[in-house]
Amino acid sequence: MGDPLRMRELGLGAGALVEVAHRAGFGGRVVTVGPTRIALDHVTCTRLDVVLVASPTHAAGASTGAGAGPVAP
């Protein structure tokens, strides 16, 4: 799934706001991009450059083990 075109088709292009919804076994993640949930394997996760940003929920001290951030160019 390292194809840049396919990543953009899934909404994982530069500047996309991505939130980790679930940390799966073996390093995989389920992420949300807008209303869409996408399951990513460990290898795909390692190919994404993500910048962590604070959201009001996370800034309030909520500890869900999830994070949000835009995909870096």
pLDDT of residue 55: 67
Q: What is the largest CA-CA distance in the chain?
A: 37
CB 71 within 8 A of CB 13: yes
- Tally of domains in the chain: 1
Range(s) of the domain holding residue 38: 4-70
Tens of pLDDT, residue by residue, the chain (73 residues): 468 888 888 888 888 899 999 998 888 999 999 999 999 999 888 888 888 887 655 554 444 444 555 565 5
CB 71 within 8 A of CB 4: no
pLDDT of residue 10: 87
- Rounded Cα distance between 34 and 26, Å, is 25
- Rounded Cα distance between 47 and 36, Å, is 20
